[in-house]
Amino acid sequence: NPYPVTAPFLARGQERFNIYCAPCHSQLGDGNGVPKKINAMAIVANLHDKRIVELTDGELFNTVSYGKNNMQGYAPQIPVEDRWAIIAYLRALQLSRLGSVDDLAPETRAKLK
């Protein structure tokens, strides 16, 4: 990600994620958005799947920009910096779900005990 990941950048990413991504992927990113609930589309990616977590930020940027399978590309609607903010927020969302105490810095881990 070419932008520094700051609290305001993540907040912008969350806002844009909730507008553009959450309707299909859900606010949790688990793929249980509106299309799945109304049975309009059988498969919406769970953004916590290992194959997606292992994609580079550049690969995610490409998917957000140009689409993949049934997903349209959002390059015309979402400015470049906002696409990177969405990716930064997605990484935070993935960490919140898939991370463990071992991912924390030792000094932070010590405060939990």
Digits of tens for pLDDT over the chain (113 positions)? Answer: 999 999 999 999 999 999 999 999 999 999 888 887 777 656 789 999 999 999 999 999 999 999 998 899 999 999 999 999 999 999 999 999 888 888 888 888 888 86
Q: Which of 72, 82, 57 is nearest to 1 (CA)?
A: 57
21: left (phi over 0), alpha (psi -120 to 50) or beta: alpha
Distance CA 24, CA 36 (A): 8
CB atoms closer than 10 angstroms to residue 89 = 23
Q: State pLDDT tens for residues 81-93.
A: 999 999 999 999 9
